[in-house]
Protein backbone atom coordinates (compact mmCIF):
# COMPACT_ATOMS: atom_id res chain seq x y z
CA UNK A 1 0.00 0.00 0.00
CA UNK A 2 2.84 2.36 0.80
CA UNK A 3 4.35 1.78 -2.64
CA UNK A 4 1.06 2.80 -4.22
CA UNK A 5 0.88 5.99 -2.15
CA UNK A 6 4.45 6.93 -2.97
CA UNK A 7 3.50 6.99 -6.67
CA UNK A 8 0.07 8.56 -6.17
CA UNK A 9 0.56 11.22 -8.88
CA UNK A 10 1.40 8.49 -11.41
CA UNK A 11 -1.64 6.48 -10.32
CA UNK A 12 -3.85 9.53 -10.82
CA UNK A 13 -2.42 10.17 -14.31
CA UNK A 14 -2.86 6.53 -15.30
CA UNK A 15 -6.40 6.41 -13.90
CA UNK A 16 -7.26 9.51 -15.93
CA UNK A 17 -5.77 7.80 -18.99
CA UNK A 18 -8.06 4.82 -18.38
CA UNK A 19 -11.13 7.02 -18.01
CA UNK A 20 -10.31 8.83 -21.26
CA UNK A 21 -9.78 5.53 -23.10
CA UNK A 22 -13.13 4.22 -21.89
CA UNK A 23 -14.75 7.47 -23.00
CA UNK A 24 -13.07 7.07 -26.39
CA UNK A 25 -14.53 3.60 -26.79
CA UNK A 26 -18.01 5.04 -26.37
CA UNK A 27 -17.53 8.20 -28.44
CA UNK A 28 -15.28 7.04 -31.28
CA UNK A 29 -14.04 10.56 -32.08
CA UNK A 30 -10.29 9.91 -31.60
CA UNK A 31 -9.93 13.22 -29.75
CA UNK A 32 -10.17 11.53 -26.36
CA UNK A 33 -7.47 9.14 -27.56
CA UNK A 34 -5.25 12.16 -28.23
CA UNK A 35 -5.90 13.45 -24.72
CA UNK A 36 -5.17 10.02 -23.26
CA UNK A 37 -1.77 10.01 -24.97
CA UNK A 38 -0.97 13.22 -23.14
CA UNK A 39 -2.09 11.88 -19.78
CA UNK A 40 -0.05 8.74 -20.40
CA UNK A 41 3.04 10.92 -20.94
CA UNK A 42 2.25 12.83 -17.75
CA UNK A 43 1.91 9.54 -15.88
CA UNK A 44 5.22 8.27 -17.20
CA UNK A 45 6.95 11.42 -16.01
CA UNK A 46 5.17 11.23 -12.64
CA UNK A 47 6.31 7.61 -12.30
CA UNK A 48 9.89 8.83 -12.81
CA UNK A 49 9.30 11.51 -10.13
CA UNK A 50 9.53 14.50 -12.46
CA UNK A 51 8.21 17.88 -11.31
CA UNK A 52 4.53 18.65 -11.83
CA UNK A 53 5.39 21.40 -14.34
CA UNK A 54 7.13 18.87 -16.57
CA UNK A 55 4.24 16.43 -16.25
CA UNK A 56 1.69 19.07 -17.22
CA UNK A 57 3.89 20.41 -20.02
CA UNK A 58 4.37 16.97 -21.55
CA UNK A 59 0.66 16.16 -21.22
CA UNK A 60 -0.38 19.42 -22.86
CA UNK A 61 2.25 19.23 -25.61
CA UNK A 62 1.58 15.63 -26.59
CA UNK A 63 -2.21 16.06 -26.41
CA UNK A 64 -1.99 19.18 -28.56
CA UNK A 65 0.19 17.54 -31.20
CA UNK A 66 -2.01 14.42 -31.35
CA UNK A 67 -5.20 16.52 -31.55
CA UNK A 68 -3.70 18.63 -34.35
CA UNK A 69 -2.72 15.51 -36.32
CA UNK A 70 -6.24 14.10 -35.97
CA UNK A 71 -7.74 17.44 -37.01
CA UNK A 72 -5.49 17.55 -40.11
CA UNK A 73 -6.56 14.07 -41.17
CA UNK A 74 -10.30 14.66 -40.89
CA UNK A 75 -11.99 15.02 -44.25
CA UNK A 76 -15.00 17.31 -44.60
CA UNK A 77 -18.25 15.76 -45.82
CA UNK A 78 -18.00 17.63 -49.11
CA UNK A 79 -14.66 15.96 -49.92
CA UNK A 80 -16.22 12.55 -49.39
CA UNK A 81 -19.17 13.35 -51.66
CA UNK A 82 -17.17 14.63 -54.66
CA UNK A 83 -16.57 11.20 -56.20
CA UNK A 84 -19.51 9.37 -54.68
CA UNK A 85 -21.46 7.43 -57.34
CA UNK A 86 -24.62 7.52 -55.17
CA UNK A 87 -24.99 11.30 -55.50
CA UNK A 88 -27.81 12.12 -57.90
CA UNK A 89 -29.35 8.64 -57.81
CA UNK A 90 -33.13 8.29 -57.43
CA UNK A 91 -34.66 6.91 -54.22
CA UNK A 92 -38.26 6.13 -53.29
CA UNK A 93 -39.75 7.34 -49.99
CA UNK A 94 -41.15 4.38 -48.02
CA UNK A 95 -41.79 5.96 -44.59
CA UNK A 96 -42.03 9.46 -43.13
CA UNK A 97 -41.29 9.00 -39.42
CA UNK A 98 -38.37 8.52 -39.49
CA UNK A 99 -37.78 9.45 -43.11
CA UNK A 100 -36.82 6.19 -44.85
CA UNK A 101 -36.05 5.65 -48.52
CA UNK A 102 -35.59 2.54 -50.63
CA UNK A 103 -32.31 2.46 -52.53
CA UNK A 104 -30.20 -0.39 -53.93
CA UNK A 105 -32.58 -3.04 -52.62
CA UNK A 106 -32.56 -1.84 -49.02
CA UNK A 107 -34.26 0.75 -46.82
CA UNK A 108 -32.03 3.63 -45.71
CA UNK A 109 -32.47 6.36 -43.14
CA UNK A 110 -32.70 9.72 -44.85
CA UNK A 111 -32.69 13.41 -44.09
CA UNK A 112 -34.39 16.08 -46.16
CA UNK A 113 -31.89 18.50 -47.70
CA UNK A 114 -31.93 21.97 -46.18
CA UNK A 115 -32.10 23.43 -49.69
CA UNK A 116 -35.17 21.39 -50.59
CA UNK A 117 -38.64 22.93 -50.34
CA UNK A 118 -40.34 19.57 -50.96
CA UNK A 119 -42.63 17.91 -48.45
CA UNK A 120 -41.88 14.20 -48.76
CA UNK A 121 -44.74 11.76 -49.19
CA UNK A 122 -44.68 7.97 -49.28
CA UNK A 123 -44.05 6.74 -52.83
CA UNK A 124 -42.44 9.98 -54.07
CA UNK A 125 -39.14 9.72 -55.95
CA UNK A 126 -36.35 11.96 -54.60
CA UNK A 127 -32.66 12.23 -55.45
CA UNK A 128 -29.60 11.84 -53.22
CA UNK A 129 -27.82 15.16 -52.60
CA UNK A 130 -25.15 13.92 -50.17
CA UNK A 131 -24.56 11.67 -47.20
CA UNK A 132 -24.51 12.58 -43.53
CA UNK A 133 -23.13 9.87 -41.25
CA UNK A 134 -25.24 6.78 -42.11
CA UNK A 135 -28.13 8.74 -43.58
CA UNK A 136 -28.78 9.80 -47.16
CA UNK A 137 -29.53 13.50 -47.64
CA UNK A 138 -32.30 13.67 -50.22
CA UNK A 139 -34.35 16.33 -51.93
Alpha-carbon gap, residue 67 to 81, rounded angstroms: 25
pLDDT 10s digits, 30-87: 899 999 999 999 999 999 989 999 999 999 999 999 999 998 887 665 455 467 788 8
Q: List Cβ neighbours of 8 (8 Å cut-off, separation of 6 or more).
A: none
What pTM was computed for the model? 0.54
Q: Which domains does the chain have, with CATH numbers?
A: 2-73 (no CATH), 79-138 (2.40.50)
Answer whether 19's CB lies under 8 Å from 59's CB: no
Strand 135-138 and strand 106-112: the pairing is: parallel
CA angle 121–124–130, rounded 5-degree value:
100
pLDDT 10s digits, 93-136: 998 888 999 998 889 999 888 777 777 888 888 888 888 888 88
Amino acid sequence: MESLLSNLPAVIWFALTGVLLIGEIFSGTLYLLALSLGTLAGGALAYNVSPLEQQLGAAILLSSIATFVIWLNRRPDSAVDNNDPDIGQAVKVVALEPLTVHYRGADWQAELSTTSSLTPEVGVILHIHSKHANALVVG
